[in-house]
Structure 1
Amino acid sequence: MKRKFLFVCSQNKWRSPTAEQIFSERTDIDVSSAGTNNDAENPLDTEQVEWADVIVAMERQHRTKIQQRFKTAINGKKIVVLGIPDNYRFMDSDLIRLLKEKMRRHFPN
């Protein structure tokens, strides 16, 4: 069974969609992305949180919002914080490098 990774940032415009796109090429996992803001491109909802095995937040504030808004849906799920600030555009080469580097230890071997 493939593990499901949900990537989360604020607006779901640059960081989390980049992560979703670059890791969607992997055949050993399923990926999706969402944003914590109500006006995000794809606003995070309970269904997405329940779908995920691992939730990957770009910053601590995202983890905090997820924990506050989806207390029951989280239900002991692992939430990883990558510590990637909102300094990058969609598919920025530095962002891709950072994502690959920081996610290496969280993916199946």
Structure 2
Amino acid sequence: MIRVLFVCSRNRLRSPTAEQVFAGLPGVETASAGLAPDAELPLDADLLAWATLVLVMEKTHLRRLKQRFARQLQGKRVACLDIPDNYAFMQDELVQLLRARASRYLRF
């Protein structure tokens, strides 16, 4: 079982979309969180401990993640999908982009 944590800024558009899109894959559990203090679900050490793979949306998120949670990331697979904050929740273009970019990390 792979546990994928999707991370963006406020956990309102990109990461919750990714969580829903990939939740139905066999052998995959998903969650999402945000790095901003006002995120719907702020990222914490417990979520990172749960995850076996962390996928962030932007390089900025990757930098902030490493600064705040360096110790918790040891031994974790972490990657950036390079998806800008230009999409609405569950927007078709976002879903297609997520599938294309995440395909190298998830089998579907």
Q: TM-score range by the shorter chain?
A: over 0.9
Give the equivalent residue in structure 2 for 1:87.
Answer: 86
Q: TM-score, normalised by structure 2?
A: 0.96
SS of the residue corresponding to residue 106 of structure 1 reads coil
Q: CA deviation at 1:108?
A: 3.5
* Matches for 1:1-109 after TM superposition, within 5 Å: 2-108=1-107
- The SS at the match of 1:74 is coil
Q: Segments of 4+ in structure 1 off by > 3 A?
A: none
TM-score (ref. length: structure 1): 0.95
More helix, by proportion: 1
Unpaired runs of 5+ residues, structure 2, are none
The CA distance in 2 between the partners of 1:78 and 1:66, in whole Å, is 13
Aligned length: 108
Deviation digits for residues 19-52 of structure 1 (CA, Å, limit 9, x no counterpart): 0001111121111000000110000000001111
Q: For residue 48 of structure 1, what is the amino acid of its counterpart? A: L
d(CA) in 2 for partners of 1:63 and 1:79? 8
User: 1: distance between equivalents of 2:22 and 2:9?
Assistant: 19
Query: What CA distance in whole angstroms lies between the structure 2 residues aligned with 1:108 and 1:88?
Result: 24
